[in-house]
Amino acid sequence: MTLNSPITEEMTRQLPVVDRSQRKSTHLGAAILALALGSFAIGITEFSMMGLLQEAVTDLGIDLSQGGNLVSAYALGAVVGGPLLSVVAARFERRALVISLLGLFVLGHAVSLLSPTYGMLLAGRFLSGLPHGAYLAGASLLAAGLVGPAKRARAASWVMVGLSVANVVGVPVVTWLGQNFGWRWMLGVALAAAVVTGVMIRAVIPAQKVEASVSMGNELSALKSPRLWLGLLLAIVGFSGMFALYAYISPVLTETAGLAPAMLPFALAIYGLGMVVGNMLGGRLADISVLGTVCGALITLMASLLLFSMTSDVLPLALLFMTMVGISGQALAPALQMHLIDCAPHAPQISSALTHSAFNLANAFGAWFGGAVIGIGWGLKAPSLLGGIAALLGAGMAAAMLLAQRSRKAARA
């Protein structure tokens, strides 16, 4: 799972800076478009597999719970690759880094696209996920380096527009292509988008200087923050509930709610619009209270998941509560992202990458647990019920953090 990547004031002091002559020679709109196209490719490959799960399962001759592993393999690759590649490449020039990460993304998709066996496909999905978090973190910081200090956070957030467009447009279109011409079209589209992204970045974005303060040691120092680890645990628990449902949204809507398979792309577009609304709403509310927004979003997510579980055999209600899951889940994302980055602002690359790792670990856990309860015969309603329980646990954790924060403020007053 991915999202907007706010850049704090302390972080801006460690971002690579492009001098004025380079800024004038850079077409900012084209640069942001190039970087956003990369996040668009990532959004397609992360979320389209869920909508095409039934087609993949049928083609590969595996059961639904094994199909869920195709979601988990990519997510686990993102979990491992985000912090690992961010630390190893801490001193890399930023443009060269993101192009290299796109090359790894393309390689993983080529393996997946040409894989003759289920095992090789799993390996390809894992390889494809490795550059996920490191690319999103590096692209955000690269965009921030192209503008003046006053606009750096805004530029970083523009990069993530590609994720929203992927959910609203890219995923439904690729789902339609996969249903009609073969599910592996999803892999080909994501691969092509990544290739175009790399060419555009090389053409329109200048190389950036690496600041002397950026080092592997500084990045690793983020791991000493207990608040960061607690925040990561909260992100994993809270978000796993949403993915327990979304990983199996295709069979739930078509087999339980009675949605015609041809209408699935439109249902996914509705879910994507809910995510866009949630992201905007969560960003505004987080400006008032970060942890308060986390609590409120998790409580709403819990209620939406439980109501979906109880009403998913009634199509209009299933679509309504599915949309509420998208809104509340994505409203959670900006607040959690802000909280995690604030926990280690002196290590921008790894703190941002770890955030994406946490969301993708939640993706993997949600898909795995959802598949497990389906596999033991609990039915297609069970994943959303399990997700509601996970969201409840996350809300309890967030409430405890909020009370501790208020106690600290009261003690200082």
Question: Is 1 part of a structural domain of the chain?
Answer: no
CA distance linking residue 5 with residue 386, whole number of Å: 29
pLDDT of residue 6: 41
Of residues 73, 51, 72, the one with CA closest to residue 122: 73
pLDDT of residue 158: 73
What is the token pair recorded at 33? 């478009």
Contact (Cβ atoms closer than 8 angstroms) between residue 241 and residue 391: yes
Distance of CA 111 to the CA centre of its chain: 22
pLDDT of residue 3: 43
pLDDT of residue 34: 92
What is the token pair recorded at 127? 């390889």
Cβ contacts of residue 7 below 8 Å, gap of 6+? Answer: 15, 140, 141, 144, 152, 153, 156, 341, 348
Cβ contacts of residue 29 below 8 Å, gap of 6+? Answer: none
- Domain of 373: which CATH number? 1.20.1250.20
pLDDT above 90 for 22? no
Q: Is the dihedral of CA 183, 188, 190, 193 positive or negative?
A: negative
pLDDT of residue 32: 87
Question: Is 4 part of a structural domain of the chain?
Answer: no
**Which region among 57-61, 299-303, 359-363 has the lowest average model confidence (pLDDT)?**
359-363
pLDDT of residue 2: 47
Residue 336 banded pLDDT, cuts 50, 70, 90: confident
Mean pLDDT over 338-351 rounds to 72
**Which region among 100-109, 181-190, 401-410 has the lowest average model confidence (pLDDT)?**
401-410
Contact (Cβ atoms closer than 8 angstroms) between residue 390 and residue 238: yes
SS3 (DSSP) at 176: helix
CA distance linking residue 196 with residue 323, whole number of Å: 32
30-59 pLDDT, tens digit per residue, is 888 999 899 999 999 988 888 888 899 999
**Which region among 13-22, 36-45, 254-263, 376-385 has the lowest average model confidence (pLDDT)?**
13-22
pLDDT of residue 257: 93
pLDDT of residue 408: 80
Among 9-23, 146-160, 357-371, the range of highest mean pLDDT? 357-371
Mean pLDDT over 382-395 rounds to 93
CA distance linking residue 388 with residue 370, whole number of Å: 12
The terminus-to-terminus CA distance of the chain in angstroms comes to 38
The boundaries of the domain holding residue 19 are 9-412
pLDDT above 90 for 392? yes
**Which region among 88-102, 143-157, 197-211, 269-283 has the lowest average model confidence (pLDDT)?**
143-157
317-329 pLDDT, tens digit per residue, is 999 999 999 999 8
Of residues 126, 146, 53, 138, the one with CA closest to residue 101: 138
Which residue would you say has higher pLDDT here, 7 or 379? 379
pLDDT of residue 23: 46
CA distance linking residue 306 with residue 329, whole number of Å: 14
Q: Is the pTM of this model over 0.85?
A: no
Question: Is 370 part of a structural domain of the chain?
Answer: yes
Question: Is 372 part of a structural domain of the chain?
Answer: yes
Among 43-57, 121-135, 227-241, the range of highest mean pLDDT? 121-135
Question: Is 2 part of a structural domain of the chain?
Answer: no
Q: How many domains does the chain have?
A: 1
Question: Is 104 part of a structural domain of the chain?
Answer: yes
Contact (Cβ atoms closer than 8 angstroms) between residue 351 and residue 63: no
CA distance linking residue 2 with residue 24, whole number of Å: 31
Question: Is 225 part of a structural domain of the chain?
Answer: yes
Cα dist. 74→58, 125, 354, 367 in Å?
20, 5, 16, 11
pLDDT above 50 for 93? yes
Query: Burial code of 349-358, b = ≥16 C-beta within 10 A, e = fewer?
Result: bbbbbbbbbb
Question: Is 3 part of a structural domain of the chain?
Answer: no
pLDDT above 80 for 15? no
What is the token pair recorded at 180? 């009609």
